[in-house]
A and B are shown apart, each in its own frame.
Chain A
């Protein structure tokens, strides 16, 4: 028996969406799963555990579940309206072994995950090595809401750190994000949206644009031609999205990489250099600390590199700078790199 796929009518009754948007067109989801070829990553579907974060209307969950029949499929959500909706949905599943289960915790809270895997042991993924993508665990999430971008950035950091759910191995994530976030994450050198998160994405993950919304008027997307050609994403129309108003969204497939990057220095260097992203390195390096200009001009022999602007640098350029930075005898204390704007006293 397959799970019912929620109709649009039902969903219209849900009041609060907190800025989240969901694709509610089964065929789009089918196309997406066609494209993803998940059975390649997860050859033993009967062992696959899926964590579905902010599932909302859970249409995609149902479709996914019907299609792959994973060993375990946990939906984590805490928003009252959706909890109600999902509970209703799950009640229809009268089998002894329910296909999906709801875990009523806030996906924003780190504690929810330790509870899930350690305390409550609801979903316990096996630990896998760094050699390959985890083949028994998949994370799906919708982070199209207001807090989504911030949360995703933290998850990215978790991939770098190998903590959170990523401590179980290189766990694939399918994440719905606002299109503008996805654009930033996938920005290439030279793109004016090239930013720290683009570098982090590039450094820690192999990320693909799986699907994206077509522009209302032009029918094209806001991603560059190159990128569209490279990723060939599934396109869906604004009408496939609920709520009807809001910002466009995209689906990313994130495959964590095995890396050995000096995280703190990398973080410091990228953060600071990308502030003056259009200033040539020979100038912008000075903002790394006292005497930065002198030091780097001395140690960077490649004049071409010095002429480049941070936004044009490749990941390896940044890694090179990070390395040099680490070797700098007079480098500043990177752990004091913050400011208390209002040091209130009362």
Chain B
């Protein structure tokens, strides 16, 4: 096929070449890291698990929308652009084309974003074309826009795709269609594929037209995933065949090859499903197949009945939220199936079923809630029971119905304001103001169906009851933002669904296999779509729409209340708003509060919290979407990011850069392994807990059901002020306890409710990372990171035969859960074996028996393990038992393990089990021993304090301090910790505090002695962080100098983990501002603002964060390897879980990975990275006034000051130095020479051999000068060789 180069075609005078639009590829801006950076590593090698590739990428400034080097300068613009983007998106979806266009103009004026402008314009064009009725309008519009309004911008392939789609849609004849399409195709910037890859623009029908009707493209031009679907329609346009089944149909889909499917295409469905409804409809055919498959399995009669009775075709059977109602127990089926073959086909059918349910779950949640309300209402109405004490759901339905018209009205008003169809003149000042505000929030409010907004608002507020320390209510700020966020989430999900509907609108999946194919294509598409969206609503917009909705709810929601007549003291019935906005004071600051009326709170306490569980963030019924990029992975319709960013655009920018460069694949892989671990609820445990719960009595960590908060009586008026104070304190304490208990009970309630919903289900936890790379499940409340109760409720879906080692490990596990975990394995096994009777008793009669399990450190998990063990031991051969319990292996003081490996401390390494030993070492006891030794020595010298303390030192006294030492606990903090321990022995606070101060010094010294190398490294890390966060970039913004000669420091500590994850410490001064909303102003931080560094936190945080980034890497590496070895793997940071039978394998793998991690000199590598990243940065140091350089610098400053005719500021100095460096780095030899000639205060200092010699400590008077940033030398390392770890069985145990 002939393809014209695009330059030979003139499109309505748009003549610029794409080459001019993008004069340089992104990479051309990248500063190549200097040779020695590579040199040290001898170039990227195959051994690189991520670090090298990633660090090289993130080292180069100039990537992404957030340029490290220009952070300060662009901060304002960066924020601006985000707001504009989100507003543009909102306006387009709301159909405010004029406003959208004016936003485009603003965007166009932000030069630094010019490159991505066309994407924004395309969005606009898409919408414009949608509304156009003929081809010419669109062509003309495009021409005018690109020619006149935005002359510096050229179209791209997506623009062309839009035009093609439009041409196909609007052309009246085949000729025009063909002519236009051909023209557009020829204009392609990067070939046909470039245009055709825009699946979000072109529909399947479009592809078919291009391919079959017009014959303009070839099959290989199509995006890979769509190929088969598009082609299929050509092969058998009329085909509506049912897929073939293997004989007997018992094996469902297994007989079919996915690559050569027989497709069905429904030509009858021509109408475009405008909204997403169609996609949401339950896939009847698919469900039939699932049902068929299930019934084909060898089920028990009961199971068979369950499946038969189960209505696969209604969405109402999503999850089992109702008590008493029973879903199919899939786990039971899975467990009892006999053959692998059956299990496999069951797994497939279940997965297919769950694909649909997951989809529904993420989407239908709000509707489902509403339907429940309505259902209860109708039911009550039918019974004629709409009496005074309404059921909660009836009430909610009532509020919903009252709120809806208000919201609709408001949406209408917003639309009017946006369309300028309001006459200002006749309005009062207040209304004018309100309309002004509508301009701000209007675009956002019109995006989501008002019904949904109402439901969301109600649910959110109920969910937030008793949060934020408010006794009956919540913080307003939290409420408005939560509602806003929830609306945004809904919008995103709908948007995704709509787009999907657009692409697949022509397809009716009446064939099962075809459906699978579409499902696959759809998943790919979804990933692409999510990756594309970079826009988030500004916090401000969230708060605003949240407040609007909430104020409407406040307006309508009323409850029956009871009061007391002040005169007669009689009870009076009345009605009052359910919510009330007010304020409370805390330490003299006002806090906005949304109170919930007590009568409603009481009602809520009695309810099960079904309604409020956030449906978007439940565990998933299918494997999470694998992580593919920084914002694509996890749930299917709910966007989540790889990193839980702390409103730090810097973090995101670095992450994006390495993500786009494909440098963190191993991170994704590791996370995906975590996500692929299938879980189910331990039904026996659930029944137990549920029973305990329903009694309402406190039990272990489940608090009891407290009904009322009883305060102490007020002391007489004239009692001493101190008495009044005590009274107030006492009441606060009572209230605190009360609300703490309630929220704990509430939390437990959530857990149980979610567990109930997932009884018998197979589920997964999507994970993401905190900013240091540690992994967390996305779903709150119920996950394996939760408390003992959560963990006790969960088991692996897959079972594995124990084997003899597995049995042993199970015993060890139980021992560990009891806290008996410091002895050799044999002793732990013996411990368990000595309690076999107790175990049996606990397992068989947990509540009424002896209750041995309750004595465990982690009673719920212990009970679960007892049950497992008991069941296993009942078998003739316990080793054949199929076990589902996750067995834990915990690092012994994992932070110190990494520190010891880094510092090479031999004795330290031994104490944290990095070296083989026949007994596990206990570092806390060892430190205690060291402390005692010190005390004895001191006591021998006559130190009385030491004498008092020397036989009071136990493991417990030092434990917390040793542990927190890794986190950089301060002397004061440690003193408090130790005092807490000593206070049990010494009554007098003053005395015990004195002793603690003394003891703390010795504990610190002992830890330091044991981990000498590690501490030097800790210090070194701290010092580096301090210098970096007090360093100055050459191209620093002048605004940073607003307070005289002292700049705002802007550089955060940034490093790359071994897996390549770039880590940016987010600690900056908080830049919160007040934002006006409908209810009150809220104090929120602008997520795009770049504030000065908080040097203190940077420094304090770096050592622990660095270590955590290492343990996170270790975990992900181990996960990866376990995944490769087909182990089910889960982890809680430094506690790794797998099946009992796989523990041995896992232990080997995790030790290998630790060794691999530490074989490289990580500290040296870190220093190199720092040196490279902070090259040319300056720091302010104090040097001796009398030194030669000092005089020279002073003279130079004087000279320049005279030249300038004003004070020569630090900013000037930096500017000069920047010039010099620029000249030196220039390619032009002349400029180069100029640079070499140039004399600046910094260059003067450069002539000195060793600056450190001149540095002055505080005592002598000196002068402040700029010097190149220099990090301290790496401290010497001890002799420990990490290879010794290989055979250390107690490393993790």
B571's nearest neighbour on chain A, judged by CB, is A329
Q: Would B583 and A275 count as touching, CB distance under 8 A?
A: yes
Closest 8 CB pairs of A and B: A329-B563, A340-B469, A291-B576, A330-B563, A287-B582, A110-B722, A290-B580, A290-B576
- Bound CA–CA A292/B583 (angstroms): 14
Count residues of chain A with CB under 8 A from any CB of chain B: 40
Determine whether B1248 belongs to the interface, using a CB cutoff of 8 Å to chain A.
no
Of the listed stretches B304-312, B409-417, B590-598, B799-807, chain A binds: B590-598
CB distance from A212 to the nearest CB of B (A): 25
Q: Known: A110-B721, A329-B574, A335-B731. Is A341-B561 also a contact (CB below 8 A)?
A: no
- Bound CA–CA A167/B720 (angstroms): 9
Contacts of B566 in A (CB 8 A): 326-329
B472's nearest neighbour on chain A, judged by CB, is A336
Contacts of A329 in B (CB 8 A): 563-566, 572, 574
A150's nearest neighbour on chain B, judged by CB, is B588
Q: Known: A114-B720, A275-B590, A327-B566. Is A335-B711 also a contact (CB below 8 A)?
A: yes
Q: Known: A110-B722, A290-B595, A340-B732. Is A162-B576 also a contact (CB below 8 A)?
A: no
- Bound CA–CA A333/B714 (angstroms): 14
B732's nearest neighbour on chain A, judged by CB, is A338
Of the listed stretches B212-220, B665-673, B733-741, B1109-1117, chain A binds: B733-741
Q: Would A272 and B582 count as touching, CB distance under 8 A?
A: yes
Q: Would A161 and B739 count as touching, CB distance under 8 A?
A: no
Q: Would A340 and B564 count as touching, CB distance under 8 A?
A: no
Q: Would A339 and B576 count as touching, CB distance under 8 A?
A: no
Contacts of A331 in B (CB 8 A): 563
Q: Known: A110-B720, A162-B718, A328-B566. Is A339-B591 also a contact (CB below 8 A)?
A: yes
CB distance from A106 to the nearest CB of B (A): 13
Determine whether B471 belongs to the interface, using a CB cutoff of 8 Å to chain A.
yes
Contacts of B740 in A (CB 8 A): 343, 345
Q: Could you say which of A163, A286, A326 contacts B720, with CB atoms under 8 Å apart?
A: A163
- Bound CA–CA A328/B236 (angstroms): 78
Q: Would A290 and B721 count as touching, CB distance under 8 A?
A: no
Q: Would B718 and A163 count as touching, CB distance under 8 A?
A: yes
Q: Would A342 and B469 count as touching, CB distance under 8 A?
A: yes
Q: Could you say which of B472, B579, B585, B717 contacts A271, with CB atoms under 8 Å apart?
A: B585
Determine whether A158 belongs to the interface, using a CB cutoff of 8 Å to chain B.
yes
CB distance from A151 to the nearest CB of B (A): 11
Q: Known: A114-B720, A287-B583, A327-B566. Is A343-B590 also a contact (CB below 8 A)?
A: no
Determine whether A230 belongs to the interface, using a CB cutoff of 8 Å to chain B.
no
Determine whether A223 belongs to the interface, using a CB cutoff of 8 Å to chain B.
no
Contacts of B590 in A (CB 8 A): 275
Determine whether B1045 belongs to the interface, using a CB cutoff of 8 Å to chain A.
no
- Bound CA–CA A339/B470 (angstroms): 5
A163's nearest neighbour on chain B, judged by CB, is B718
Residue of A157, A326, A340 with most partner-chain B CB within 10 A: A340
Q: Would A161 and B717 count as touching, CB distance under 8 A?
A: yes
Binding site for B on A (CB under 8 A): 110-111, 114, 154, 157-158, 161-164, 167, 263, 271-272, 275, 286-292, 326-333, 335-343, 345
Given contacts A291-B576, A343-B739, 16 further A-B contacts (CB under 8 A): A110-B725, A163-B717, A163-B724, A287-B582, A290-B576, A290-B597, A327-B566, A329-B563, A336-B709, A336-B711, A338-B586, A338-B732, A339-B468, A339-B585, A340-B736, A343-B736
| Interface residue ranges of B552-566 to A (CB < 8 Å) | 561, 563-566
- Bound CA–CA A92/B591 (angstroms): 54
Contacts of A338 in B (CB 8 A): 584-586, 732, 735
Contacts of A289 in B (CB 8 A): 580, 582, 595
Q: Would B586 and A339 count as touching, CB distance under 8 A?
A: yes
- Bound CA–CA A342/B469 (angstroms): 7
Q: Would A339 and B574 count as touching, CB distance under 8 A?
A: no
A111's nearest neighbour on chain B, judged by CB, is B722
| Interface residue ranges of B187-217 to A (CB < 8 Å) | none
What are 19 A-to-B residue pairs whose CB atoms are below 8 Å?
A114-B720, A161-B717, A161-B718, A163-B717, A164-B721, A290-B561, A290-B577, A290-B595, A292-B580, A326-B566, A329-B564, A329-B566, A329-B574, A335-B731, A336-B711, A338-B732, A339-B468, A339-B584, A340-B732
B709's nearest neighbour on chain A, judged by CB, is A336
Determine whether B24 belongs to the interface, using a CB cutoff of 8 Å to chain A.
no
- Bound CA–CA A10/B715 (angstroms): 47
Determine whether B1256 belongs to the interface, using a CB cutoff of 8 Å to chain A.
no
A263's nearest neighbour on chain B, judged by CB, is B717
Determine whether B581 belongs to the interface, using a CB cutoff of 8 Å to chain A.
yes
CB distance from A154 to the nearest CB of B (A): 7
CB distance from A184 to the nearest CB of B (A): 13
- Bound CA–CA A272/B583 (angstroms): 7
Q: Would B718 and A330 count as touching, CB distance under 8 A?
A: no
- Bound CA–CA A18/B151 (angstroms): 66
- Bound CA–CA A158/B717 (angstroms): 9
A161's nearest neighbour on chain B, judged by CB, is B717
- Bound CA–CA A291/B581 (angstroms): 10
Q: Known: A335-B711, A340-B736. Is A330-B561 also a contact (CB below 8 A)?
A: yes
Q: Could you say which of B572, B575, B724, B736 contacts A161, with CB atoms under 8 Å apart?
A: B724
CB distance from B1162 to the nearest CB of A (A): 32
- Bound CA–CA A297/B787 (angstroms): 50
Q: Known: A263-B717, A326-B566. Is A286-B735 also a contact (CB below 8 A)?
A: no
- Bound CA–CA A162/B672 (angstroms): 69
- Bound CA–CA A265/B189 (angstroms): 75
Contacts of A157 in B (CB 8 A): 721
A342's nearest neighbour on chain B, judged by CB, is B469
Determine whether B1252 belongs to the interface, using a CB cutoff of 8 Å to chain A.
no
Determine whether B719 belongs to the interface, using a CB cutoff of 8 Å to chain A.
yes
Contacts of A286 in B (CB 8 A): 580-582
A109's nearest neighbour on chain B, judged by CB, is B722
Q: Would B720 and A164 count as touching, CB distance under 8 A?
A: yes
- Bound CA–CA A114/B722 (angstroms): 10
| Interface residue ranges of B427-455 to A (CB < 8 Å) | none
Q: Known: A330-B561, A340-B469, A340-B735. Is A163-B584 also a contact (CB below 8 A)?
A: no
Q: Could you say which of B576, B581, B711 contacts A330, with CB atoms under 8 Å apart?
A: B576
CB distance from B925 to the nearest CB of A (A): 23
Q: Could you say which of B470, B595, B721 contacts A154, with CB atoms under 8 Å apart?
A: B721
Query: Interface 1/0s, chain B 807-841, versus A by CB < 8 A?
Result: 00000000000000000000000000000000000
Q: Would A158 and B586 count as touching, CB distance under 8 A?
A: no
- Bound CA–CA A167/B563 (angstroms): 36
- Bound CA–CA A340/B593 (angstroms): 12
CB distance from B722 to the nearest CB of A (A): 4
Q: Would A341 and B718 count as touching, CB distance under 8 A?
A: no
- Bound CA–CA A23/B242 (angstroms): 100
A157's nearest neighbour on chain B, judged by CB, is B721
A287's nearest neighbour on chain B, judged by CB, is B582
B600's nearest neighbour on chain A, judged by CB, is A290
- Bound CA–CA A333/B583 (angstroms): 14
- Bound CA–CA A330/B581 (angstroms): 16
Contacts of A343 in B (CB 8 A): 469, 736, 739-740
Contacts of A287 in B (CB 8 A): 580-583
- Bound CA–CA A155/B1020 (angstroms): 52
- Bound CA–CA A119/B595 (angstroms): 46
- Bound CA–CA A219/B171 (angstroms): 84
CB distance from A233 to the nearest CB of B (A): 28
Contacts of B731 in A (CB 8 A): 335
CB distance from A128 to the nearest CB of B (A): 14
CB distance from B67 to the nearest CB of A (A): 37
Residue of A111, A327, A338, A339 with most partner-chain B CB within 10 A: A339
Q: Would B720 and A339 count as touching, CB distance under 8 A?
A: no
B721's nearest neighbour on chain A, judged by CB, is A110
Residue of A292, A328, A338, A343 with most partner-chain B CB within 10 A: A338
CB distance from B575 to the nearest CB of A (A): 8
- Bound CA–CA A335/B584 (angstroms): 12
| Interface residue ranges of B786-800 to A (CB < 8 Å) | none
- Bound CA–CA A83/B717 (angstroms): 34
- Bound CA–CA A337/B591 (angstroms): 12
Q: Known: A286-B580, A290-B595, A330-B561. Is A163-B721 also a contact (CB below 8 A)?
A: yes
